[in-house]
Structure 1
Amino acid sequence: MDQELDAPLLAFDPTDPVALTQALVRCPSVTPAEGGALSLLAAVLASAGYSVHRPVFSADGMPDIENLYARIGTEGPVLAIAGHSDVVPVGDAEAWTRDPFGGEIVDGVLYGRGACDMKGGLAAMVSAALRFRRDNPQAPGSIAFLITGDEEGPAINGTVKLLAWAQSQGQRFDHCLLGEPTNPASMSDMIKIGRRGSLTGKLTVNGKQGHVGYPHLADNPIRGMVRLLAALDAAPLDGGTAHFDPSNLEVTTLDVGNPSSNVVPAQAKAVFNIRFNDVWTPDTLAAEIERRLREAAGNLVRYELTFQPTNAVAFLTEPGPFVAMVADAVEAETGKRPALSTTGGTSDARFIKNYCPVVEYGVVGQTMHQIDERVAVADLTALERITHRLLDSYFAPQHAP
């Protein structure tokens, strides 16, 4: 389903990134609820002359998800700005010192769920785009917004389908800026030019239950599990690459489910997750894990291994003119050149990279998903200026990437 919107009147100046962040935080858009956030952004963008669409996507067993696509301009180059309006639950609301949906500012800090992940980043980029077009109405090219309500959830009815929908409508993008909170401590720290992949495996070792006093009548699966996990950890998966750290395997659960101290359990289970670099694909990595386990088990350990389906693959946006343009904008506004990084978890960039080169840059992310999530007002205004400077450079004919 899709609808176009008329431009309404707004009660605040949407070129003010702080006011827009407050308005978005006050929308309780906990996945999968839209909570008014996309409606607010649709109103803001429609008021500025954007063509706005609100496609809703569905899947069996999943809630319907509202999304937003907006564009101003009809010619290239097309710079897409992407993000998500949904947020994680607040957790224990009583533990918050400020209303999690209040958008309150205290001592230069704006509090609220999604303030840094990523309503603040989204608001700053929207504000910058509005100010840029207001001041440069004849600017060449086009700006497009890809905003989903399903990044913090299953990510099935969100960006992956929004991109396919846009392509079906004839929309093409030259580059994309994704406003995730990339900075660890200050606005000059980090740009993400890629992401590691993620692969989760479930390992079960089968034994034979019995009395600990009669071990010859039992088969303790814990010994086999220790043997197999040691084999997975015995040698590094790789040594890293030019832009990626070495791939990393972490055992996240180890369970026997045995309430008795004098019973040998029948089964041991473990779950592990691997954050892998561009040395691997999910298939080649799974094959390597299977090889290691097979060699370690021999005829001594009976085990089963399964992998969860994954759409999180490692990718890299090679440093080039667009990456340099983003770094130049950050350096010009902060006085320090940011590092180019591929660290952290997954993001919707893993879907966007199939359509155009994508770079991630946003506010400081120290409190994302935490109680009292917050963002410095100064960081919001800095991100607005950085994005505005990037737009100036991107749409200047002599500097086109």
Structure 2
Amino acid sequence: MADDVTAKSDTSIEKVSRRIEESREELIALTQELIRIPTVNPPGDAYRPCAELVGERLRKQGFSIEYLRAEGALGDSDRYPRTNVVARIEGEGPGETVHFNSHIDVVEAGKGWTFDPFEGTVADGRVYGRGACDMKGGLAASIIAVEALLREGIPFRGAIEISGTVDEESGGYAGVAWLAERGYFSKPRVDHVIIPEPLNVDRVCLGHRGVWWAEVETLGRIAHGSMPFLGVSAIRNMGLFLDLIERELYPELDQRRTQMPVEPEGARNSTLNFNSLHGGQAEGFDGLPSACVADSCRLVLDRRFLIEEPLEQVRGEIEGLLQRLRAEVPDFEYRLRELWSVLPTMTDEDAPVVKALDEEIRRVLGKEPQHIASPGTYDQKHVARIGHLHDCVAYGPGVLDLAHQPDEWVGIDDMVASAKIMAAATLRLTGTLRD
């Protein structure tokens, strides 16, 4: 009996893999269609047409479709409605639900392209365009993967969902976060989530580092620039703070290493980036500046922290340096304003979704899968912290380093391989295939 089950499983996988190979041109065409809808965020262009492209295609395959506008969410407006699409199809009998979540928004094209960023040009085995790897190629691969199961008539248990969500590039609050608050990423509706982010076709991303954004404003007293001794320079006060960070905090961060398998290697340390710095006269004025001592200087901090570092420590290190300066330096005053924070998250390596993807990576690619963590956050944060669903990973085609770059591309062979892996993993996770 066990041999019969194994034989059926092998046959099902072979049929699906063959169907995906036969759908190569369709996969390319779908990726091109998605790229040609310029869903640039900000401001949030063309979300509805892109959601409808996904939804109406899947409706023809038997999915029930919901278009869900995140009314009242950050960024939503009648001009730029934050429209998400969620598609669901029920299997034959009880089983678990596998959800493929892709964001449909892309960053601006920027300069330096040799291809039209919104054409989806095919060249050298690649599809070029803004969002090709991040992550419309992954979305297309997940759709083709599930369509292959349906077209081959392979019975599956449970349910399969595919979503196209908005605003991941600006935090995901009108997308996955908004849906998670309404139960779309929680049990009993969903059991396993795969996010086809571009993290290389042989790697499973288990989670990400934490992030803490804050604005530090040093305060001064305005005076005539020819008599600066009558004022207090907020810029000089900021210089004292920056000097302390350079001399004390940066060397300490360089010594901290995580056990998380973060890639690239340099991101296994704690990091701190100065996102922006503005002091004195406002930028954008074409004339000569006025002769004033700066009474305000603002610095935005982008701190990425490790799973071993408590958020209270991350905050406290910055606050401690500022308090020292206030105690030691006459006329040093500051304001500290927290902008955003997300805790690190990591899915267990033995989680069902990880094991299913690992098994299929070995089978399809003939190599051992690599487990990694991301240096920056992505929508897994909302699935974990709001949906309380921890069987969630990122897996998809594309090279992470190409994201947001000119001439962004996704490899066609990688899309095909990842579709095969996602399709077979779906059968395993729904309980349809047994090892």
Structure with a larger share of its residues in helix: 2
Superposed CA RMSD in Å reads 3.1
**Structure 2: distance between partners of 1:340 and 1:13:** 29
Q: Is the 8 A contact 1:147 1:159 kept in 2?
A: no
Gap change, CA 1:23 and 1:215, over 3 Å in 2: closer
Identity percentage of aligned residues: 29
Moved >4 Å (runs of 4+) = 12-15, 166-171, 209-216, 258-264, 280-284, 396-400
Question: What runs of 5+ residues in structure 2 fail to find an aligned partner?
Answer: 1-21, 263-267, 282-287
1:52 equivalent in alignment to 2:87: no
Say which is worse superposed, 157-166 or 139-148, in terms of deviation: 157-166
**Structure 1: distance between partners of 2:48 and 2:195:** 22
Alignment of 1:115-130 (within 5 A): 115-130=132-147
- Offset at residue 218 of structure 1 (A): 4.2
Q: Is the 8 A contact 1:73 1:143 kept in 2?
A: yes
**Structure 1: distance between partners of 2:434 and 2:243:** 53
**Structure 1: distance between partners of 2:158 and 2:76:** 37
Alignment of 1:148-167 (within 5 A): 148-153=165-170, 155-167=172-184
Q: Which residue of 1 is the match for residue 208 of structure 2?
A: 195
1:23 corresponds, among 26, 29, 33, to 33
1:319 equivalent in alignment to 2:349: yes
Give aligned pairs, total: 382
Other structure's SS at 1:193 match: strand
Q: Is the 8 A contact 2:207 2:345 kept in 1?
A: yes
**Structure 2: distance between partners of 1:250 and 1:399:** 47
Q: Is the 8 A contact 1:249 1:275 kept in 2?
A: yes
1:369 corresponds, among 404, 412, 427, to 404
Q: Is the 8 A contact 1:13 1:19 kept in 2?
A: no
1:328 equivalent in alignment to 2:351: no
TM-score, normalising length from structure 1?
A: 0.84
**Structure 2: distance between partners of 1:286 and 1:231:** 16
Q: Is the 8 A contact 1:14 1:127 kept in 2?
A: no
Alignment of 1:106-255 (within 5 A): 106-135=123-152, 137-153=154-170, 155-167=172-184, 172-183=189-200, 187-188=201-202, 190-209=203-222, 216-233=229-246, 234-235=248-249, 236-237=252-253, 239-243=256-260, 245-255=268-278
Question: What runs of 5+ residues in structure 1 fail to find an aligned partner?
Answer: 1-11
TM-score, normalising length from structure 2?
A: 0.78
Q: Is the 8 A contact 1:146 1:162 kept in 2?
A: no
Give the residue type in structure 2 aligned to 1:62. Answer: D
**Structure 2: distance between partners of 1:106 and 1:178:** 26
Gap change, CA 1:399 and 1:246, over 3 Å in 2: farther
**Structure 1: distance between partners of 2:23 and 2:414:** 19
Gap change, CA 1:62 and 1:53, over 3 Å in 2: closer
Say which is worse superposed, 270-279 or 285-294, in terms of deviation: 285-294
Alignment of 1:92-103 (within 5 A): 92=111, 96-103=113-120
2:314 corresponds, among 278, 285, 300, to 285
Alignment of 1:66-85 (within 5 A): 66-73=83-90, 75-85=94-104
Q: Is the 8 A contact 1:15 1:131 kept in 2?
A: no
